[in-house]
């Protein structure tokens, strides 16, 4: 599979029919988590949950105390991720801002930033 990490590469690339069909099966969400989400292992918990569920995307801390995540996979796996991340011992999510996005070709989930 192809790896696209920037928006320009996503727009200009030509996907195979197989890749297009694969992307149609996926859901991608951009989520901003608010609450007690920094300094509590949120990013690494997200990484391990996403890896276990076969999800791709990224997670990073923001300077305003929130955590931003783009996550992609089968809808039911995304819902399991969201359920699991909200039921962690030290993580307290007050609310989430969610936006659906177009899926992209990628093969892993990664932690970004400091």
Active site residue 61: yes
The one catalytic residue in 20, 28, 60, 61 is 61
Sequential DSSP letters for 57-72: EEEEE-TTS-EEEEEE
The one catalytic residue in 20, 28, 43, 52 is 43
Q: Is 38 helix (H, G, I), strand (E, B) or coil?
A: coil
Active site residue 87: no
Cβ burial of 14 (10 Å; 0-12, 13-18, 19+) is: exposed
With CA atoms as reference, report the closest residue to 41 among 27, 59, 53.
59
Decide if 71 contacts 28 (C-beta within 8 A). Answer: yes
Residue 25: DSSP 8-state: T
| Residues designated catalytic | 43, 61
């Amino acid at each position: 599979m192809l790896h696209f990490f920037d928006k320009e590469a996503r727009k200009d690339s030509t996907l195979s029919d197989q890749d297009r069909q694969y992307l149609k099966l996926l859901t991608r969400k951009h989520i901003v988590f608010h609450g007690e989400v920094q300094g509590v292992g949120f990013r690494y918990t997200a990484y391990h949950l996403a890896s276990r569920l076969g999800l791709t995307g990224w997670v990073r801390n923001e300077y305003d105390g929130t955590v931003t995540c783009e996550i992609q996979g089968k809808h039911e796996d995304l819902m399991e991720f969201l359920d699991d991340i909200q039921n962690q011992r030290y993580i307290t999510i007050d609310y989430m801002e969610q936006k659906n996005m177009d899926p992209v070709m990628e093969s892993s989930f990664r932690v970004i930033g400091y």
